[in-house]
Chain A
Amino acid sequence: MIRRPNSPARLVPYTGLVCIIVLCISPVFLNGYLLYVATVAAIYALAGVGMNVLHGYAGQISIGHGAFFAIGAYVTGILTVDHGWPAIATVVPAVLITAGLGAVMCLPALRLSRWYLGMITLAMAVVIDDLIASDQSVTGGGSGLIGIPPVSAFGHDFTAVEIYLLFAALVAIALLLTRNLRRSPKGLAMVAIRESEIAAESVGVSVVRTKFLAFVLSAALAGLGGVLWAVLNGAITPDQFNTNLSILFLLIVLIGGDGRLFAPILGVIVLQVMPESLTVLSTYRELVYGALLLVIALFSPSGLAGLWTDTLVPAVRGVWERARGTRPRRDTADSSSRVRVGSDVVAQKRLTTLPTLSNSNPAALSLNGVTMVFGGLRAVSNVTLDVRAGSTHGLIGPNGSGKTTLLNVVSGIYRPTSGAVLVDGEPITQHSAAARARAGIARTFQLPRLLDREDVITNLVVGAHRLRHGSTAQWIVRTAQARRDEMMQVDRALSWLDFMGVTHLQKRRAGDLSHGDKRLIEVGRAMMSEPRLLLLDEPAAGISHDEIDRLADLIRALQSTNMTIILVEHHLDLVTSLSEQLTVMNTGGLVASGIPSEVIKESAVIEAYMGKSSLGR
């Protein structure tokens, strides 16, 4: 996603791009009704671009964006018809009002389950629909507003073709800007949220704030679409904006394909252009929408674009290469392979040493009387622990001993029932998980939480979230500084892959990796943030013997950079050989703590693991 590899077989998707461009220019040669249909399609595509950010990138569901569209249209209508504003001046207030309403609307639902937002947006759409239709005084009620001035500039009224080109240009600009957004740290944050909110938090993403941004942005684009609609039609009535419109917007991005760049274009072509050209279908609109939604959700969740890139392109590429007599390309561990970053080329360096961490300022961790109670269960009981800066501290204990819970208290997923967590003497007990990640606490999970649908490089770069520079605005425009920052992070990611010996995995989808490789990538992601404290949660679980050796080497290399590491493990051999200090937990409390070789000899420890030897037959 960050970069496009250089290969002749990639001509196939470029052909797709060319087709789309041709399709978008062609309405210029039409006239009358078909040109109107294409212009409407462009407007819907604009709203679709917003929905793509909300749903495709951030994974949130909204069934109410038709309301923002309506409000945008009505703001323009009211300001022009009732107050004589020129049409162009209504754009800013319309966008601001819809963005503001979007902000208010999504706030209550952002912390709740995904489908809650869907329901609330639906409710909002119905309520607003009602209000618009009933309120005679402001909105003209059922008869709507007429007399909205047409699109004009410098006294010249645009022709239908010019209007189409203008709107299409706006869509193109929106596509370009959202493409840049996708590659920006904020965009990566959205994708992380879609795949795993917990993983997103663990790299420092503010989940609520990011979802909020996606929602407000999409609302603003829908509102802008409404403005264009109003000036295109000159007259607006409530029945143009019912719940079907909201569903259409969602459908546009679903058909086009989850988060793909051209999803909105593909979506409107299928949904708007085709049915309108075949007027028969338009009478069964709801039925068609329903059937399409059902088929897509059940059979092709990545939509048509997904069908294109995941099925057709590889198939065609395979045929092409077989025809040329070469074997289908496999990922090779080519140490001098070149990688494209946008239009830049980054030559990869061959490394044998650990990528230097520019920040080796390890943290000291203290836990004071930490207790964690869930309902009736006392998972962690009065644990006091000190971890020296730069040391590796092992944490072991049988199942149910509370070690994972303790780790979760340190990383911020849980707030302890009582007690304090201090980093370098400063209490962080009430800090959120994301805030702690931004302060330099990185972690891995018992079951790797990667961004399954993204490639390995993206998974690594997202780990550097807390180090990224540049405001969202700079990223959307892709200033030189932004591009340098991106190049640096990709470079670092490649260095890590090379160091771990898995450069060949860079383009692979994270979800397709073996368990051991997923583990490795997760450790890499944690390292990308240049952490001051690294929490490893059973990294050796479920991986093979050789992979455990590889893991041990990696941890030793990390230790050489003087990092503070907390290692929760069951693998006694691994944890005792790597730790400078070992703590044993049992039934939520500390049993022993000290030098590993001595601790494992302590009778209390043996008892914890093996029980009293007095248990006889």
Chain B
Amino acid sequence: MSLPIFFDTLIEGLSTGCIFALVAVSINIMYRPSRAFNFGQGEFVLLGGVLSLLFLNSWHWPWLAAVPVLMLIGAALGGLTDLIAIRPVISRSATSSAWVITTLALSLILDDEIGARFTGATAVVPVPPLLTTTPMNIGSAQVSSYQIALLVLTVLIVIGLWFAYRTRHGLAIMALSEDREAALLRGVPAGRLNLVSWMAGGALAALVGVLAAPITQVSSGLGFELLIDGFIAAAIGGIGDNRGALVGGLVVGLAQSFGAVVFGPLYQDLASFVVFLVLLGLRPRGVLGEARVREV
């Protein structure tokens, strides 16, 4: 592999890796207080991407005005998912896995709605002001300011969340995640914090959709692909761990980009999937995950 191609593949992998990392982070935010994995997360991200086409291209909103609105829509969706798909399941039995089915159900409904309204036309989505997707030359590499900003933003979000989970409410969520009953005894409102987390996760998912739009092709079927890539990223790093999600996302992104170059573009999904299976076989709890003691 020649050096320029190597760097191009590297940059490409890191960029898409940021997207995957953020999807994984958004899933982790929802997972922490509820121990439920949103099977509809891919659709949330897709919705963000599709709506950004609408807001930015069709309605010509400025980027900085559209993004908060889209994040609000994502938050509403996340909250709705908690109320319809998670809360009823958990209240019936704390250990039930029925939320797999309910969140899957919502993802289907959402996918249908998106598919019905979105014709699949690929358009060029404008990027935030001051940034551009045109690559500049840095040594033998070609990288755009957008890609750099994306990487910086991803790291900032992960760091920011680390601080957020050390505030009063953040600690309460960590407590809920570790020992739900003990947290309840401290007066932690499980239902409310869960709702807030699912809204936050939804908002982040929508943001990811907006961020991904300029560098990915928004198409139907993307929903499930993002879900799976996000899951693999989260699982590699240990589900619930955001620093792990960052690592996992970049691993998936790089596996896909190098896999595409080495084996052909048809096999990029396969490449990341195989990498995942191998890592899972070696360390089932994730790269940074810790062992869980069985309770009898």
A and B touch in the complex (CB under 8 A): yes
In angstroms, Cα B119 to Cα A220, docked, is 37
In angstroms, Cα B105 to Cα A114, docked, is 17
Q: Is there contact, CB below 8 Å, between B104 and A301? A: no
The digit string for B255-268, where 1 denotes a CB below 8 A from any CB of A, is: 00000000000110
**Would you call A408 an interface residue if the criterion is a C-beta within 8 Å of the partner chain's C-beta atoms?**
yes
Q: Which residues of A sit under 8 angstroms from B281, Cβ to Cβ? A: 108
Contact residue range for chain A?
35 or more
Q: Is there contact, CB below 8 Å, between B224 and A122? A: yes
The digit string for A112-140, where 1 denotes a CB below 8 A from any CB of B, is: 11111011001110110011001100000
In angstroms, Cα B85 to Cα A286, docked, is 17
Closest Cβ–Cβ distance, residue B275 to chain A (whole Å):
12
Q: Which of A61, A112, A290 touches B106 (beta carbons < 8 Å)?
A: A290
Q: Which residues of B sit under 8 angstroms from A446, Cβ to Cβ? A: 296
**Would you call A293 an interface residue if the criterion is a C-beta within 8 Å of the partner chain's C-beta atoms?**
yes
**Would you call A346 an interface residue if the criterion is a C-beta within 8 Å of the partner chain's C-beta atoms?**
no
In angstroms, Cα B81 to Cα A591, docked, is 54
Q: Is there contact, CB below 8 Å, between B228 and A134? A: no
**Would you call A198 an interface residue if the criterion is a C-beta within 8 Å of the partner chain's C-beta atoms?**
yes
Q: Is there contact, CB below 8 Å, between B296 and A63? A: no
Q: Is there contact, CB below 8 Å, between B280 and A126? A: no
Q: Is there contact, CB below 8 Å, between B108 and A289? A: yes
Q: Which residues of A sit under 8 angstroms from B270, Cβ to Cβ? A: 127, 130-131
Q: Is there contact, CB below 8 Å, between A408 and B273? A: no
Q: Which residues of A sit under 8 angstroms from B121, Cβ to Cβ? A: none
Q: Is there contact, CB below 8 Å, between A293 and B269? A: no
**Would you call B225 an interface residue if the criterion is a C-beta within 8 Å of the partner chain's C-beta atoms?**
yes
Chain B, residue nearest A298 (CB): B88
Q: Is there contact, CB below 8 Å, between A63 and B104? A: yes
Closest Cβ–Cβ distance, residue A52 to chain B (whole Å):
16
**Would you call B277 an interface residue if the criterion is a C-beta within 8 Å of the partner chain's C-beta atoms?**
yes
**Would you call B175 an interface residue if the criterion is a C-beta within 8 Å of the partner chain's C-beta atoms?**
no
In angstroms, Cα B84 to Cα A112, docked, is 26
Closest Cβ–Cβ distance, residue B93 to chain A (whole Å):
10
Q: Is there contact, CB below 8 Å, between B104 and A293? A: yes
A-B contact count (CB 8 A): 113
Q: Is there contact, CB below 8 Å, between B84 and A294? A: yes
In angstroms, Cα B185 to Cα A441, docked, is 38
**Would you call B111 an interface residue if the criterion is a C-beta within 8 Å of the partner chain's C-beta atoms?**
yes
Q: Is there contact, CB below 8 Å, between B98 and A294? A: no
**Would you call A361 an interface residue if the criterion is a C-beta within 8 Å of the partner chain's C-beta atoms?**
no
Q: Which residues of B sit under 8 angstroms from A301, Cβ to Cβ? A: 98
Q: Which residues of B sit under 8 angstroms from A116, Cβ to Cβ? A: 235
Q: Is there contact, CB below 8 Å, between B293 and A374? A: yes
Closest Cβ–Cβ distance, residue A54 to chain B (whole Å):
14
Closest Cβ–Cβ distance, residue A130 to chain B (whole Å):
5
Residues of B within 8 A of A (CB): 37, 39, 84-85, 88-89, 97-98, 100-102, 104-113, 115, 221, 224-225, 227-228, 231-232, 235, 266-267, 269-270, 273, 276-277, 280-281, 284, 293-294, 296
Residues of A within 8 A of B (CB): 61, 63, 108-109, 111-116, 118-119, 122-124, 126-127, 130-131, 134-135, 198, 242-243, 247, 250, 254, 284-287, 289-294, 296-298, 301, 374-375, 404, 408, 413-414, 445-446
List 13 interface pairs A-B (beta carbons < 8 Å), by A numbering: A108-B281, A116-B235, A122-B227, A127-B270, A131-B266, A135-B266, A289-B105, A290-B107, A293-B102, A294-B109, A296-B101, A301-B98, A408-B296
Knowing that A131-B270, A243-B224 are A-B contacts, what are 15 other residue pairs whose CB atoms are under 8 Å apart, sorted by A's residue number? A63-B104, A108-B281, A109-B280, A111-B284, A119-B228, A122-B227, A126-B228, A127-B270, A130-B269, A134-B266, A135-B266, A290-B111, A293-B104, A297-B101, A446-B296
